[in-house]
Amino acid sequence: MRTLQFQYHMQLTFDFPACDHHFTLRCRPFHDIRQRILEERVEIYPKHYSSEEVDSYGNKCIYGIARTEHDHFSVDVTGEAQVCAENYLPALPAHRIGMYRYQTALTKAGLGLESFYRDLRKNASANVVEHVKDLMDGLYGKFQYEPGVTGVNTTAEEAFCRGSGVCQDYAHILLALCRLERIPCRYIAGMLMGEGATHAWIEVSDGKSWIPMDPTHNRMVDDTYIAISRGRDARDCTINQGVFTGGGSQKQEIRVVVNDK
């Protein structure tokens, strides 16, 4: 068990003042058997009206409206989390897990991924977790980490055919490979010690538990990770969504710090 201090900062800066800003934030870490949130503080600028709900994936959501003009919009989440890597979240019942077996628009495999999958499938282990670890290892040997060459709408197939991308792409590709076998799996957005930005990984269900794996680093998730949101792919886990009047073009800044207490 490890106690971590975390700071998550996101800021949008506008060319021109924005107003009537309706937003949805998925920025609060989970509190569960794997990670206990000991302290948490959320600060949002500008002044706003808001409410909190849990979405269909179990993510904590803040829904709000900032009516007055503002040249930037920011959210800061700070606190402490106690993480126990040995604790796994229980698998969902059969009637709730189906949506995690099937491809989405971002994970749908094309000819490139299907061919790659067939090669990896030849020596597949009967154990689900060991099999996915083999898929992850194969991906790690084939794909390169390269910032700035993909975007939020890049699909798993597009990234794979390019041969490089970032953590979101690694996660989408491994999800695509798992779903070719209808293995239940889901996308995780969160924080990782030493990363400096939002990180992404996946969880795979072995029928009893959700097992977290990080394809970007080709390893099992340990006690240096803090999960913020879960879903079928990155779109279900978007940290900030919103619409507003005015604003012009915008620039986003994200800064994440995770340290031992």
Please indicate, yes or no, whether residues 119 and 191 belong to a single structural domain of this protein.
yes
For 163, other C-beta atoms within 10 Å of its C-beta total 12
**Mean pLDDT of the chain, nearest integer:** 95
Structural domain count of the chain: 2
Please indicate, yes or no, whether residues 219 and 195 belong to a single structural domain of this protein.
yes
Please indicate, yes or no, whether residues 155 and 211 belong to a single structural domain of this protein.
yes
Please indicate, yes or no, whether residues 243 and 223 belong to a single structural domain of this protein.
no
Please indicate, yes or no, whether residues 95 and 61 belong to a single structural domain of this protein.
no
Q: Looking at residue 124, what is its pLDDT?
A: 73
One-character DSSP codes across 64-77:
EEE-S-EEEEEEEE
pLDDT tens string 133-192: 999 999 999 999 999 999 999 999 999 999 999 999 999 999 999 999 999 999 999 999
Residues 213 and 221: beta-carbon distance below 8 Å: yes
pLDDT tens string 49-80: 889 999 999 999 999 999 999 999 999 999 99
Stated pTM of the model:
0.96
Please indicate, yes or no, whether residues 131 and 177 belong to a single structural domain of this protein.
yes
Paired tokens of 23: 């937003």
The domain in which residue 16 lies consists of 2-84+239-260
Please indicate, yes or no, whether residues 69 and 129 belong to a single structural domain of this protein.
no
Element (H, E) at 53: strand 49-54
Please indicate, yes or no, whether residues 229 and 107 belong to a single structural domain of this protein.
yes
Q: What is the CATH number of the domain that holds 198?
A: 3.10.620.30
Mean pLDDT of 242-250: 92
Give the model's confidence band at 123: pLDDT under 50 very low, under 70 low, under 90 confident, else very high: confident
